[in-house]
Structure 1
């Protein structure tokens, strides 16, 4: 079942950037023509991604002040809290929106892996070779974004990192968690270039290359 143009536009506006939306629409058209069963699975994955995005969008912006139990919470208190993270707290010490943001990114990675797999099966069609390559690039960028987030979290959890560095890492993480559209080239292009140059990451999520560098 091919994704309609209206659906593609709607999904693109709510979930994907313009290039991703156009690429997914082209891929759906190509896969639908060759394998309706695969297209049906991809359509379901689009729905799952949109649902995850909607759940994330309902969360309060992390920089917006609030209060609970008489305790004020704002951007600065969150930064200070993040600076106290240790290696044992895991995700339990993170704001719910942070966890949902990471879930969204993992869902998007799985979503793009599905499109890479489906278009890879029809690469006998000339235009699909380029499409598959572009989808792999989008997949790699999403994985790099998750790796960068893990790197910032690692900085927060290291006891020998300076307070100023931790504050900057925490501030960057808040920005990432508050905007699901942000990707690594928006906030750490040099880091993306370094990882991309090594060219060892794969669609199976690899071994989290670079998280200890």
Structure 2
């Protein structure tokens, strides 16, 4: 078994002693549920799909690398202890009395999220929301480590792809918080949908798992991978060929989004940034230079030379690079919105999630009417 000192102990962490055990004992569903009850936490450490993947990895490592198994098992146990600590803070779904007079409920938190617009929200957010994000980052790094171990042990390709998808899904859950907060600031979105977004954000904070993200993660993963396979034909900087190639490879949700939202200037500009991997300002600068210098064609190296930058080096798949590129577009969009500058005020991911939420809301209304 894996032995640790008690949480909060001032003693130096004991040496980890690992004895191989049957995985049905390690992560058997009933035992896992009991473990969660003992911790009294609402955070989901591992979803059923993630738990299945971890069990698969552990089963393979039992016979190939006991050291790697010991290390990864310790990291999973660390995640469990972290959730136990976070669980000591008040639930966001229950009524809270603060300072014997101030009452916080889920409804009051929703209203506070809708009313707050300017500046950094961090000091206005519940403690559990801040700590929970740290848990997700730790979980993300754990799955990166699991994936690296699996590659080093030459797992079958299909299993490596499953681990990659699971790692990306965790990253999308981290990203979802940014998207929800961005959409909450948009007062052009109907109030009932913004309330739905706020409620979804609270559920995300409480459990660090989100059904909307689970539903759209495969689509976003496919979009990002399709984009990564496309070599932008900068040419006139219109992006028509890239859009066609991107759309052909994807499912009906993405096709419906493009069909229904591409006429929106903010969506089309955000899509340009996504396709070319450049900011709105850089794209406009290139368009001007192409027109001035009458370029008939322009290479990728020419593009970055005109921008006075080094050509980015393509590296192997790393989900952190996906998130990094998203955050650059996110921060640029927020800056334009704050200063009322020309260009996209939301990312492509913001627009896509908003579209899915609106579609879900419309379906709920139709279903209710049909009854």
The SS at the match of 2:103 is strand
- Higher alpha-carbon deviation: 196-205 or 67-76: 196-205
CA 1:36–1:136 in 2, change beyond 3 Å: closer, same or farther?
A: same
Q: Secondary structure at the match of 2:115?
A: coil
Shift of the alpha carbon at 1:95? 0.6
Contact residue 155 and residue 166 of structure 1 kept, 8 A: yes
Of 135, 139, 145, the residue aligned with 2:167 is 139
Give the 3 Å change call, closer, same or farther, for CA 25–190 of structure 1 in structure 2: closer
Alpha-carbon spacing, 1:205–1:47, altered in 2? closer, same or farther (3 Å): farther
CA distance 1:90–1:3, shift in 2 (3 Å): farther
Contact (CA 8 Å) 2:172, 2:213: kept in 1 or not? no
Does the CA contact (< 8 Å) of 2:165 and 2:221 recur in 1? no
1:196 aligns with one of 218, 221, 226 = 221
1:76 aligns with 2:107: yes
List gaps (5 residues or longer) in structure 1.
Answer: none
> How far does residue 113 in structure 1 lie from its aligned partner after superposition?
0.7
CA contact (8 A) 1:3 1:43 kept: no
Q: Out of 28, 34, 44, which is 1:9 matched to?
A: 28
Count residues with an aligned counterpart. 207
The change in CA–CA distance for 1:79 and 1:63 in structure 2 (over 3 A counts) is: same
Contact 1:12 1:20 in 2 (8 A): no
Deviates more, 1:12-21 or 1:48-57: 12-21
- Report the counterpart of residue 103 of structure 1 in structure 2: 134
Alignment of 1:87-126 (within 5 A): 87-123=118-154, 125=155
- Structure 2 partner of 1:53: 83
Structure 2 CA distance for partners of 1:190 and 1:110, relative to 1, 3 Å: same
Instruction: Please provide the CA RMSD for this pair.
Output: 2.7
Partner in structure 1 of residue 196 of structure 2:
168
Q: CA deviation at 1:58?
A: 3.1
Give the superposition deviation at 1:37.
3.0
Distance 2:192 2:205 in 1: 20
Kindly state the Cα deviation for residue 160 of structure 1 after the two structures are TM-superposed. Answer: 5.7
Which is further off, 41-50 or 11-20?
11-20
1:169-184 maps to which residues of 2 (within 5 A)? 169-180=197-208, 182-183=209-210
Whether the 8 Å CA contact 1:49–1:108 is kept in 2: the answer is: yes
Q: Whole-Å Cα distance in 2 between the matches of residues 170 and 53 of structure 1? A: 23
Normalised to the residue count of structure 1, the TM-score between the two structures is: 0.82
3-state SS, counterpart of residue 28 of structure 2: helix
Q: In terms of mean alpha carbon deviation, does 106-115 or 59-68 score higher?
A: 59-68
Return closer, same or farther for 1:89/1:22 CA change in 2, 3 Å cut-off: same
The worse-fitting range, judged by mean Cα deviation, of 53-62 and 92-101 is: 53-62
Alpha-carbon shift at residue 164 of structure 1 (Å): 4.1
Q: Indicate if the aligned counterparts of 1:64 and 1:75 stay in contact, CA closer than 8 A.
A: yes
In the alignment, the residues of structure 1 paired with residue 52 and residue 218 of structure 2 have an alpha-carbon distance, to the nearest angstrom, of: 24
TM-score between the two structures when normalised by the length of structure 2? 0.50
Which consecutive unaligned segments of at least 5 residues does structure 2 have?
Answer: 1-17, 37-44, 226-316, 331-346, 349-371
1:64 maps to which of 88, 94, 103: 94
